[in-house]
Structure 1
Amino acid sequence: MAKEFARSQRVAEQIQRELADLLQFEVKDPRVSMVTITEVEVTGDLAHAKVYYSSTENSPELQKGLEKAAGFLRSQLSQRMLMRTVPQLHFVYDASIERGMRLSRLIDDAVAEDNKSDSEEN
């Protein structure tokens, strides 16, 4: 019987929880504020972790701040997690929430326009 969750998935979930805590309470860089970790993908050999994040504002400064804090975050992860090696962190902006909000707004506008045209016909 195969395992339901691979080790890389469990490590990714733990990294996501720890990074969320570290970014909220430990990182003092003013460029890194109001960041949400949406997903973490870890390679099979646990050498690299792709960290997807979203924020109210997507700026190059935020990306630079996260990249600068990557070493600190990795060292903190090594202290919190019981692993021989901690994956290198690679930060990627996740625009899915922004796209979802835009699509929701478009749908709401289309429904409002449809309701408006129905009321004009009657």
Structure 2
Amino acid sequence: MSNKRNSRLPAELKRVISEVIRNNVKDPRISELMSVTDVRVTEDLKFAKVYISVYGDSEPTLEALKSARGYIRREVGRKIKIRNTPELIFVKDDSIEKGIYMNNLINKVLEEEGKKDVDKTKPE
């Protein structure tokens, strides 16, 4: 039973944290183009890593979220009924940049392969 609950908790935390940041946190350093991409909770439910994706410079947004961490945690505790609200750890999510980088590498290899195929078909 607890495993089922533990699997639902990260999704609920993600939804509530996004809502709290968007509606309640009034720090101008938080980018409008920020989103919570993932939440991973430890087995003992003491800590939750909150992955943040920001378009552009992410440092001011991360600093603002770290300074508002206590407020966000308290609001999450009010909206989600769990015995202990996990400590929030905000982390930059760079998976989108890594995906773009990998996509560019694949396209580069495909272009080179295409040029080799064209060179093979040319009569000498």
Map of 1:83 onto structure 2: 82
Map of 2:17 onto structure 1: 19
Map of 2:71 onto structure 1: 72
Q: Give 2:42's aligned amino acid.
A: T
Change (3 A) 1:44 1:117: closer
> TM-score normalised to the size of structure 1?
0.81
CA–CA distance in structure 2, aligned partners of residues 79 and 54 of structure 1: 25
How many residues of Structure 1 are paired with residues of Structure 2 in the alignment?
120
Which of 1 and 2 has greater Rg?
Answer: 2
CA–CA distance in structure 2, aligned partners of residues 48 and 56 of structure 1: 26
Q: Give 1:72's aligned amino acid.
A: Y
Q: Mark the runs of 5 or more structure 1 residues left unpaired by the alignment.
A: none
State the identity as a percent.
33
Runs of 4+ residues over 3 Å off in structure 1: 3-6, 116-121
Question: Greater CA deviation, 42-51 or 65-74?
Answer: 42-51
Map of 1:101 onto structure 2: 100
**What is the root-mean-square deviation in Å for CA atoms of aligned residues?**
2.1
Alpha-carbon shift at residue 38 of structure 1 (Å): 1.9
* Matching of residues 48-63 of structure 1 within 5 Å: 48-63=47-62
